[in-house]
Each structure stands twice: as structure tokens, then as C-alpha cells.
């Protein structure tokens, strides 16, 4: 996210930041501030009552200050950020999570494809067809190589590219796509049919995510995988594709250089896709309907694709920050609170042009990281120790594809089979209190009931995500643990403002998405009202406490994609 700060912060401590002092004065003037109090040490007040606007504002203003430079992975801003987090955990008396260190190294590689060296030529049934990078298609490779591509690779349309044996669905049935390039529809059939009995109807499942589609194509042996972009089922326009998948792309390093990935991954515009289907003599709309109904069988298109990417590689290390508060009775059972600390760094081109180029990411996700720090303090300072151990996990490179959480999931500091459940925070309310809390992925696990009980104690309600078709549950860090079986809840702020109603809350949300989300203006300033963030974070405390101080093991509900993974995990070594 990019932000504008007319008064660059000169930080000595979080309490000396000018933005923080401004926030404290503003909160006092509104009559909503608490008296400033120390935020460190085990002797202070604990429990949910200790969570305050003052402390949230202090942490957000510091993490989202210009000094931290947008908190990009493997940057000077990372150094400031991870040390700030580790120092706070240390001051609370929390133990290092990774042996004697608060840091878990996350090896990254920055892969930048050359846009001038990206041919895309389709042959067969007439003269060769060429298309333009970024305007008609984007391609890349997740393989850590300087060049990758396919030559005269046969194109095969495989509908939604889904293999879901639990519902008897296999879009690859009867075809060998080894060495070929598959063409895939975005989302899943439930979105198209709006039938709740087809996958999950309007609610996107994991099978609808682009990440799954590339992974499944690789499992099937495909050399390439191209997703057809359609705005409604994708939930974003082509500009988002263009901006997100061009330029530098962070990936996780691996011993084999991600050799198991497809050689070429990519998106095509709907117009490009329709042009290919016309050239192949195929009716795109008719095949689309067959794919929705489950009657489609893979279609050899009679066309071949030649395309390649030429990459510049830059290797670096980033860090997750991990702290633990040991449980008194069940120290080998863990509950995870998590948030991503990273944002998008600094746009050097804007700075060179004399503009503000710092993408400070105040709401996304300095605010969620601030909540993580407040929860750590609330638990560390309470009178009674927790029954189970609590892991406080601040992950890197979420904005680059959930990389920090993916690395933790693949290399867990604490066994996932002993991780009872977890809660992820990705943004807090900054426009005042609401009557509800939204749970993204509501209906997936028994954690929902705990959220409902905690909300009722505040005379509030739990609402499901109003836009389930956008698949937000699969787009934040908890997902990497969830897909390996750990029950994870992802609550976020509501919109039904206590005094001004839903229309006001919806307007605030839309204004943020239009004017600040992933932009330079996502800044912390004196317009923020964190009085609604406090009860939300207190709810997060109570949801976690209901697991932490009990012997309950929350379960995935019947029919969810992750229930089998959990059963396998619990049946294995513990």
C-alpha cells in the first residue's frame, strides 16, 4: 500500500512518534482515549480490558511510518519491523518461538520477467496468431530459472481444471495432458450455477482459486496452464491481473528450484481466449455451459502454443517473527494468533518523480500486526497463565502470495498436529464501532460457535462474509495452515455502524477500497477512529481464550475441503 505522510516520522520510541502524539490528542478530544500506560512488562494489567485505542494507535503509527518505508520483505524496512516486533515480545517476557530466536528465516527469490522477451504465438488451423504481453496475456514461471517456456505445446480445454473426488468431479478424466498446455476457467461451477448443491454455490471454494488450478495442472503433468480471465467470477478486472502478475514476483526458494511447477503459468483476457476458441472452431459459450454442468470432457483444441519467459533472479532472506507463551497444563498444545507484517515497500519511480512513493500499508496490515502485539500483551500480563501454549506469529511476504505463512506451514516451528486452532488478523476497523463482526469463511468449522458466544457477550452478532464469491478465505495467511488441516478462523470488521448504520459503514469500506487499498494513501492519520477496533480485538481474545483455556479441539464441518487433511494430521505422529 502507498501512503502520504506530510510529516515524516522521526522515531526514537513508539511514544515519541509525532503521528502517535497526534492520534492521542485526537482520541482525547473525542472523549474516547484511555490514559497512556506502559505497554511492556509482566506487571501491568492483562486480559481483554487492557486492549486500548492508545496502544493500537501507537503501534500502527510506528509500523506505518515513512521511516519503515512500506515494510517490504528483504528491505531496510523489514529490519526495523522485525526488530520492533521481537523487542516488544521480549519486553513482555514471551519466549522466542524458534529455539533461542524470535526469527524464522524465510528464503525468497525475486523473479522478474522481461516484458520485451515474452512471445505468445498460437499455431494451427490457419496463419499463426500473436498476442501482446500485459494487454492480451501475462505469463510467468514459478520455477527458479533464468528462462522457461513451451514450444508447440498442444492446447487442451479442461473446463474448471478441478479434481474433487469427494463430489465425484474430475475435469481431467480421460485425457493425458503431459507436456501440453491446459486452458482453464476461473472460479468453480458453483458461481456460474448459483446452486448451493454445486460445490458451495455462490461461495468460492479452494477449487476456484487460481493457486489450486496451477497446482492441479502440475500434478496432472501439464507443461503450461492458462486461466481465462472473466471479471465477475475472478472478482477483479484485468488491470488487477496486469498489475499483480507483471514486474518483480517473490517466490519461496526450494531445494529443487520449484521444479515441480508448470513451466509456464498465466492468464489470458476473455477476448484473447474467445479468439483462440474461434480459431479452433469451438463454441466458447457452449463449452462453458458444459463445464458448469459437469458434462464436459477435456477438449483437444487442435492448436499449439509457443511462449517463454526470460527472468532476472535475486535471492534474499526474509523473516517470520515467532513468540510463544507456554501453557501451564498443556504446553504441547498450541493456539496460533497470526498477522502479516509486510506491505509493498517504496515505489522508486514515484520517488524519482518527486512524488510520495511509500506504500505504508497502515490498515493492511500495520493494524492487524498492532492487534497481534496487543493480544500478546493481554495474555502475557493477565494473572492466570494460559492452559495451552499461545503462538504469536507475524509472517512476511503475504502480499507476494502468502509466502511467509506457506513457509511456516511447510516448516512449522510447532507441530501442526499439535496446533489446536488459530485466528488470523488482516486489517482492523478504523471508522468506529459496529453492531456485528464478519467471519470470512463462516460455516466451515466449530470456531464459528465460539465467535458467536463471544459476540453475544458484547451484545453483538456474527455475520457471514457478504461477498463469498470473491474467495477471501483463500487469500490471507490462515489459509496456508487451514489447507494442511488446522482449523482457522478469519474474522474482520463489520459495516453496521452503531450510530450511523450500514450505509455509512458500507461507504467507508468502499472509500477505502477505491482510494487507499494498495495505494499510497493507506496512511495512519487523525481521521482514524479506533473505538471499534478495541471491541473487535477483545472478541479475538475471547475466541482464542475459549480454546486456549479449555481442552476442546475444534473441528472442520462436514463437507469442507480441509476436514480430510485434519483427520490425516491427527492420525499421524504427534
| Residues 201-256 pLDDT 10s | 888 888 999 999 999 999 999 999 999 999 999 988 998 898 788 888 889 988 89
pTM of the model: 0.82
Q: Are residues 439 and 488 in the same domain?
A: yes
* Inside any domain, residue 432: yes
The answer to whether residue 468 is domain-embedded is yes
Mean pLDDT, rounded, for 69-93 = 96
Q: pLDDT band at 28, cuts 50/70/90?
A: very low
In this structure, of 43-47, 277-281, 539-543, 546-550, the range with the lowest mean pLDDT score is: 43-47
CA proximity to 203, closest of 214, 189, 216:
189
Q: What pLDDT is attached to residue 45? A: 67
d(CA 412, CA 414) in angstroms, rounded, equals 5
Which backbone phi and psi does 40 adopt, to 5 degrees? -130, 160
Where is the domain boundary, 280, 313, 346? 313
Given a cut of 80, whether residue 20 has pLDDT beyond it is no
Pairwise CA distance, residues 523 & 509, whole Å: 15
* φ/ψ (deg, to 5) at 380: -65, -30
Task: Tell me, rounded to whole angstroms, the distance of Cα 501 from its chain centroid.
Answer: 29
Q: At residue 26, does pLDDT exceed 90?
A: no
* Shared-domain flag, residues 129 and 87: no
When pLDDT is cut at 50, 70 and 90, the band that residue 512 belongs to is confident
In whole angstroms, give the CA distance from residue 191 to residue 566: 26
User: Is residue 308 in some structural domain?
Assistant: yes
User: Which of 291, 313, 335 finishes a domain?
Assistant: 313
> Longest C-alpha distance within the chain, in Å?
78
pLDDT band with cut points at 50, 70 and 90 for residue 171 = very high
Residue 319 lies in a domain: no
Determine the pLDDT at residue 349.
81
In a shared domain, residues 27 and 75: yes
Does residue 27 register a pLDDT over 80? Answer: no
Read off the pLDDT of each residue in 503-525 and give the average, rounded to a whole number: 87
Phi, psi of 81 (to 5 degrees): -65, -55
Supply 286's cell numbers.
457452449
- pLDDT tens, position by position, 138-161: 999 999 999 999 999 999 999 999
Q: Which domain holds residue 292?
A: 111-313
Q: How far apart are CA 139 and CA 129, in angstroms?
A: 17
pLDDT per residue as tens digits for the range 274-318? 999 999 999 999 999 999 999 999 999 999 999 999 999 999 999
Confidence of residue 37 (pLDDT cuts 50, 70, 90): very low
Which has the minimum average pLDDT: 192-201, 335-344, 444-453?
Answer: 192-201
In contact, 258 and 217? CB cutoff 8 Å: no
The percent of residues above 70 in pLDDT, for the chain, comes to 92
Number of H helices, E strands in the chain: 17, 21
Q: Quick check: helix, strand or coil at residue 192?
A: helix
Domain match, 255 and 355 both: no
Residues 220/260, Cβ–Cβ less than 8 Å: no
**How far are the Cα atoms of 68, 82, 271, 316 from residue 358, in angstroms, in the given order?**
9, 18, 35, 21
User: What is the percent of the chain where pLDDT is above 90?
Assistant: 76
Higher pLDDT, 470 or 326: 326
Mean pLDDT score of the chain, rounded to an integer? 89
Q: Are residues 241 and 352 in the same domain?
A: no
pLDDT category of residue 574 using cuts at 50, 70 and 90? low
| CATH at 237 | 3.50.30.30
Q: Is residue 393 part of a domain?
A: yes
Strand pairing category for 120-123 and 299-325: antiparallel
Q: Is the pLDDT of residue 186 over 70?
A: yes
Q: pLDDT confidence of 432, banded at 50, 70, 90? A: very high
Domain end among 313, 337, 365: 313
Q: What is the pLDDT of residue 36?
A: 28
Please indicate, yes or no, if residue 4 is contained in any of the structural domains: no
Predicted confidence at residue 40, as pLDDT, reads: 36
Residue 87 inside a domain? The answer is: yes
Tell whether the model's pLDDT for residue 43 goes beyond 80: no
27 and 131 fall within a common domain: no
Pairwise CA distance, residues 491 & 465, whole Å: 9
Classify residue 321: in a domain, yes or no.
Answer: no
pLDDT of 566 over the 70 cut = yes
Q: Is the pLDDT of residue 17 over 50?
A: no
Q: Tell me if 135 sits within 8 A of 277, measured CB to CB.
A: no
Under the phi-then-psi rule, with left for phi > 0, alpha for psi from -120 to 50, and beta for the rest, what region is 368? alpha
Taking the C-alpha atoms of residue 139 and residue 245, their distance in angstroms, rounded to an integer, is 8
Asked whether residue 221 falls in the same domain as residue 364, the answer is: no
Q: Which of helix, strand or coil describes residue 267? A: strand
Which CATH number does the domain housing residue 472 bear? 3.40.630.10
Are 112 and 249 in contact, with CB atoms under 8 Å apart?
yes
Question: Same domain for 476 and 373?
Answer: yes
Instruction: Answer yes or no: is pLDDT of 15 > 60.
Output: no
Q: Are residues 266 and 151 in the same domain?
A: yes
337 and 307 in one domain?
no
| 154 and 174 both lie in a single domain | yes
- Would you call 38 exposed, middle or buried from its count of C-beta atoms within 10 A (0-12, 13-18, 19+)? exposed
Number of domains in the chain: 2
Average pLDDT rounded to a whole number, residues 254-262 = 91
Lowest mean pLDDT among 297-306, 335-344, 552-561: 552-561
355 and 253 share one domain: no
Amino acid at each position: 500500500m502507498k501512503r502520504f505522510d506530510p510529516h515524516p516520522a522521526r522515531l526514537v520510541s513508539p511514544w515519541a512518534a509525532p503521528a502517535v502524539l497526534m492520534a492521542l490528542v485526537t482520541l482525547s478530544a473525542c472523549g474516547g482515549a484511555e490514559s497512556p500506560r506502559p505497554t511492556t512488562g509482566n506487571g501491568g494489567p492483562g486480559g481483554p480490558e487492557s486492549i486500548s485505542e492508545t496502544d493500537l494507535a501507537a503501534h500502527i503509527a510506528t509500523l506505518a511510518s515513512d521511516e519503515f518505508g512500506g515494510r517490504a520483505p528483504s528491505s531496510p524496512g523489514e529490519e526495523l519491523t522485525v526488530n520492533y516486533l521481537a523487542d516488544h515480545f521480549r519486553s513482555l517476557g514471551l519466549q522466542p518461538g524458534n529455539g533461542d530466536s524470535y526469527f524464522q528465516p524465510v528464503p525468497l527469490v525475486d523473479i522478474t520477467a522481461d516484458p520485451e522477451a515474452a512471445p505468445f504465438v498460437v499455431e494451427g488451423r490457419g496463419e499463426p496468431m500473436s498476442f501482446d504481453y500485459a494487454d492480451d496475456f501475462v505469463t510467468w514461471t514459478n520455477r527458479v530459472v533464468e528462462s522457461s517456456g513451451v514450444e508447440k505445446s498442444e492446447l487442451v480445454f479442461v473446463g474448471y481444471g478441478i479434481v474433487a473426488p469427494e463430489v465425484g468431479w474430475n475435469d481431467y478424466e480421460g485425457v493425458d495432458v503431459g507436456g501440453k498446455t491446459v486452458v482453464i476457467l476461473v472460479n468453480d461451477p458453483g458461481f456460474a450455477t448459483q446452486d448451493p448443491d454445486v460445490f458451495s454455490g455462490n461461495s468460492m471454494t479452494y477449487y476456484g482459486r487460481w493457486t489450486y488450478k496451477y497446482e492441479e495442472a502440475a500434478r496432472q503433468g501439464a507443461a503450461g496452464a492458462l486461466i481465462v480471465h472473466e471479471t465477475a467470477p475472478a472478482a477483479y478486472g484485468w488491470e488487477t491481473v496486469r498489475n499483480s502478475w507483471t514486474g518483480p514476483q517473490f517466490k519461496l526458494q526450494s531445494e529443487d528450484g520449484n521444479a515441480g511447477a508448470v513451466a509456464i503459468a498465466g492468464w489470458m483476457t476473455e477476448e484473447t481466449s474467445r479468439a483462440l476458441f474461434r480459431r479452433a472452431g469451438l463454441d466458447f459459450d457452449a463449452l462453458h455451459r458444459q463445464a458448469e454442468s459437469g458434462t464436459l470432457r477435456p477438449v483437444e483444441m487442435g492448436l499449439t502454443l509457443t511462449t517463454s519467459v526470460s527472468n532476472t533472479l535475486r535471492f534474499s532472506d526474509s523473516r517470520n517473527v515467532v513468540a510463544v507463551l507456554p501453557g501451564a497444563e498443556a504446553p504441547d498444545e498450541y493456539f496460533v494468533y497470526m498477522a502479516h507484517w509486510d506491505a509493498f515497500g517504496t515505489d522508486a519511480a514515484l520517488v524519482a518523480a518527486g512524488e510520495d512513493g511509500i506504500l505504508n500499508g497502515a490498515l493492511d496490515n500495520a493494524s492487524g500486526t498492532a492487534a497481534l502485539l496487543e493480544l500478546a500483551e493481554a495474555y502475557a500480563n493477565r494473572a492466570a497463565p494460559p492452559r495451552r501454549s499461545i503462538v504469536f506469529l507475524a509472517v512476511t511476504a503475504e502480499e507476494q502470495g502468502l509466502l511467509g505463512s506457506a513457509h511456516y506451514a511447510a516448516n512449522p516451528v510447532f507441530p501442526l498436529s499439535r496446533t489446536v486452532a488459530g485466528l488470523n488478523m488482516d486489517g482492523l476497523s478504523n471508522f468506529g464501532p459496529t453492531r456485528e463482526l464478519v467471519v470470512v469463511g463462516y460455516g466451515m468449522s466449530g470456531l464459528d460457535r465460539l465467535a458467536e458466544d463471544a459476540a453475544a457477550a458484547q451484545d453483538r452478532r456474527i455475520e457471514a462474509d457478504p461477498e463469498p464469491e470473491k474467495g477471501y478465505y483463500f487469500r490471507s495467511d490462515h489459509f496456508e495452515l487451514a489447507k494442511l488441516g488446522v482449523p482457522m478462523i478469519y474474522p474482520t470488521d463489520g459495516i453496521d455502524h452503531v450510530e450511523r448504520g450500514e450505509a455509512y459503514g458500507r461507504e467507508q469500506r468502499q472509500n477505502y477500497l477505491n482510494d487507499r487499498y494498495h495505494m499510497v494513501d493507506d496512511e495512519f492519520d487523525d481521521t482514524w477512529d479506533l473505538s471499534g477496533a478495541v471491541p473487535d480485538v477483545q472478541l479475538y481474545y475471547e475466541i482464542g481464550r475459549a480454546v486456549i483455556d479449555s481442552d476442546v479441539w475444534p473441528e472442520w464441518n462436514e463437507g469442507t475441503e480441509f476436514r480430510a487433511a485434519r483427520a490425516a494430521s491427527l492420525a499421524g505422529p504427534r
